[in-house]
Amino acid sequence: MATATTDSLSAHSFRVGRILWRELTTIAITMFGLLLITFLIARVIPIDPVLAVVGDNAKPDVYEAARTELGLDKPLWQQFAIYVGKVFTGDFGKSVLTSQPVLTDIKRVFPATLELATLGTLIGIVLGVPLGVLAAVYQSRWPDQIARFIGLFGYSIPIFWLGLMGLLLFYAKLGWVSGPGRISVAYQDFVNPVTGVILLDAAMQGEWDAFRNALSHLILPSALLGLFSLAYISRMTRSFMITELQQQYVIAARVKGMSEARVIWRHALRNAMVPLLTVIALSYASLLEGSVLTETIFAWPGLGRYITNSLLNADMNAVLGGTLVVGAVFIGINLLTDILGRLVDPRAR
């Protein structure tokens, strides 16, 4: 009996170890591919990083000295090895625009994007999932038509136009929300940036006036991102739920006399939750790296705006550093989604 139990534990440990090894190998290969792609993009793009440092009117000897200092005189494979070594030590180089280490700049701007994307995704989840469920339950009826219209509206309307109209109506005309920026100038010195997430920092320090002001700035841009997230999440929830409601276990549950609410919300939605987690994760990741237009319209000091400004000014260290952070976020979110999927789905466990 003891031998059987020991063998079972050993087999379980072996399976867990094999899964962990597979996950770590996948992450390592993905990260290596990401490093290689970003490195090659920096070499292929028609921008001379040396000129970005020394200027267009630099003398030839100054140009060559800067080129040597940047390591661009070395063979390509050696440049890549140096690049990988620096990245793994957290050295992304210095930004030409700010004269600060790129990692310092990213630590400063990323919390703003995190705050914006998180609230937008929460809006998409809280409104999109119930809307998608109702659309599936009342398929081809008026709740379904409303959900499909909202989804089409969220996908079709250009976000830059919607952002400008939102500022014109809710800020300029009605005065319901604050304008561009993350916080008003009068409140900038009220909050000490501990985490970088201004709402959290203001709440921790008891600066409720600054909290309300920051929230007023955040509502409109996060609502725009929430609309895009809502359109995607509600559409996919509807599709998953229609599939689940046609399964045999749903019919059997109804035959047994189980209440319709329990069938829909406890059984069908629970089975649809596994693919839905992937959809939510992808939506969140896309908002973290794809909110460039929103950040530009609302003068939001986030990562997307930082990467765009760096690209327009040939600041390749900043562009590559920001791209690597976005890629690492995608990898981390995908890994977290796999873990949550195993927790939600007993078959995966």
pLDDT tens readout for residues 266-279: 888 888 888 888 88
Q: Show contacts of 96-100: CB within 8 Å, 24+ apart.
A: 96/52, 96/53, 96/313, 96/314, 96/315, 96/317, 96/318, 97/309, 97/310, 97/313, 97/315, 97/318, 98/318
Mean pLDDT of 80-101: 82
> How many beta carbons lie within 10 A of that of residue 214, not counting itself?
26
3-state class (DSSP) for residue 94: strand
pLDDT tens readout for residues 276-324: 888 888 888 888 766 777 888 888 888 888 888 887 777 778 888 888 8
pLDDT tens readout for residues 146-164: 888 888 888 788 888 888 8
pLDDT at residue 52 in the model: 64
**Using CA atoms, how far apart are residues 340 and 347, in angstroms rounded to an integer?**
13
Tokens 């390749």 appear where? Answer: 316
- Greatest pairwise CA separation for the chain in angstroms: 86
| Residue type present at position 306 | Y
Tally the residues of the chain.
349
Is there a contact between 117 and 288 (Cβ–Cβ < 8 Å)? Answer: yes
Q: What are phi and psi of 6, to 5 degrees?
A: -65, -40
pTM of this prediction exceeds 0.85: no
Residues 6+ apart with CB under 8 A from 45: 316
3-state class (DSSP) for residue 34: helix
pLDDT tens readout for residues 192-216: 888 888 888 888 888 888 888 889 9
Confidence band of 66 (pLDDT split at 50, 70, 90): confident
Confidence band of 129 (pLDDT split at 50, 70, 90): very high
